[in-house]
């Protein structure tokens, strides 16, 4: 009889341990998914800020080099957004998963520009050009 009680005790222990693991999993997996989602969104915002800064620096570089200069910038974006390029600044607004918006700004040194560029998800090629015969920069995708 003693052997039967030890076997029952082991079975109860395994059952309680399994139920505890299931409960722990039920609570931790959704929390980790939220944390991972927030981390990916922060990384996406940082990448977008980096891309906006690259374009702003490219505009300043072409402007400082003068007529006849050209710069090509390659961007690999995780989302689509619209870049608003205006005198001395470049900005975009991202919509976050929770519905909030985040505006990303950067500055450049060129005054005579006012355009929008659609950045699509995936690879994008931005060409900043100041042709010899023009008095202004052109930015095209």
Per-residue pLDDT of the chain (141 residues; tens, 9 = 90+): 455 566 666 788 888 888 988 888 888 888 777 777 778 888 889 999 999 999 999 999 999 998 999 999 999 998 899 999 999 999 999 988 888 889 999 999 898 889 999 999 999 999 999 998 888 888 998
Q: Which tokens hold the place of 35?
A: 């944390």
Rounded to 5 degrees, what are φ and ψ at 12? -65, -40
Predicted local distance difference test score (pLDDT) of residue 47: 92
Q: Are 105 and 85 in contact (CB under 8 A)?
A: no
CA distance 54 to 89: 13
Predicted local distance difference test score (pLDDT) of residue 1: 44
Predicted local distance difference test score (pLDDT) of residue 72: 95
Predicted local distance difference test score (pLDDT) of residue 3: 55
15 membership: H or E segment, kind and range? helix 2-65
CA distance 134 to 140: 15
Task: Report if pTM > 0.85.
Answer: no
Cβ neighbours, 10 Å, residue 81: 19
Q: Are 101 and 94 in contact (CB under 8 A)?
A: yes
For residue 56, give the nearest of 94, 85, 82, 78 by alpha carbon.
Answer: 85
Helix or strand or coil: residue 99? coil
Predicted local distance difference test score (pLDDT) of residue 133: 86
């Amino acid at each position: 009889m003693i052997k039967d009680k030890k076997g029952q005790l082991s079975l109860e222990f395994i059952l309680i341990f399994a139920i505890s693991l299931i409960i722990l999993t039920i609570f931790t997996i959704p929390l980790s998914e939220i944390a991972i989602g927030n981390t990916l969104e922060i990384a996406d915002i940082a990448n977008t800020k980096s891309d906006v800064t690259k374009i702003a620096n490219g505009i300043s570089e072409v402007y400082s080099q003068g007529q006849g200069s050209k710069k090509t910038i390659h961007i690999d974006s995780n989302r689509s957004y619209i870049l608003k390029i205006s005198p001395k600044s470049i900005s975009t607004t991202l919509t976050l998963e929770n519905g909030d918006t985040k505006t990303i700004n950067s500055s450049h040194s060129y005054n005579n520009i006012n355009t929008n560029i659609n950045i699509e998800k995936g690879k994008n090629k931005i060409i900043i050009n100041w042709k010899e015969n023009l008095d202004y920069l052109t930015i095209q995708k």
